[in-house]
Amino acid sequence: MGKPNKGNGARATFRNFLKSIVWPVTPLTLITVIALVIAAWEWIIYFVDKPSEALVVAVTTALTVVTLTLYLVDRLFIRILSYRKLVLGEVLVGIMAFLFISFQNRTLDINFQTDKDFIVILFDSNEKSLSDFQRRGIFSKELKVYNTHIVHLDSSLASINNLRIMEPAQWDAFSRHKGRIEIDGQSIQYILSSDNRTNPYLHRNPQPYIDSLLNLVIQEQQPVGEKD
């Protein structure tokens, strides 16, 4: 009788172990592979080209560790649950997680497209409220502003934390300021953004330039007969 080949037995055991790691394939298997590839790529970029990307590498690595932990749980569940139930459960959890993250990161965007070198949002009217924004994605909304640099919004929108101002795409860099301006005896909240190309030294002494822009805004809000 021939003696059992221990080498073949060890190789078979190792193959079975590798097979158990990736088979059967579940949605989390694919997510884990993608996470590992992205993490490896970020580490390569970090060491070869961009040491400044340390924060990105740290976040990517942390997310990959979380994904691997979930994958270990996935491999345990595959032993006690049917494949169909596990896949269905992962799909449902994935959908719920996606909806939750999308809801938490929802934004209210004001997208400007203008040739002017500054834009102003005045929270002084009931003309444009939340209902005037168009849906973008699942939970986010957007207001597109064309050919004007001054927008009047409902005063209640000034307190919304997820309000985002999208400056014109041609602005390479810009400065943004918030405050209050008095128009016709009424104190109004405003957000002002200006193209840094028009005043590259704005960061040194911004207030005079901001005041001049706000004065222009006040003049533009006056009736034609009352303008200087």
Q: Taking all residues of the chain, what is their mean pLDDT, rounded to a whole number? A: 77
Rounded Cα distance between 87 and 81, Å, is 10
- Reported as a single tens digit per residue, the pLDDT across 41-56 is 888 877 777 666 777 7
With 0-12 / 13-18 / 19 or more C-beta atoms within 10 angstroms meaning exposed / middle / buried, residue 219 is: exposed
Note whether 165 and 153 are within 8 A (CB). no
Task: Judge if pTM exceeds 0.75.
Answer: no
Rounded Cα distance between 34 and 52, Å, is 23
Query: Would the pLDDT of 74 be above 70?
Result: yes
Cα dist. 160→102, 168, 192, 193, 194 in Å? Answer: 17, 22, 17, 18, 22
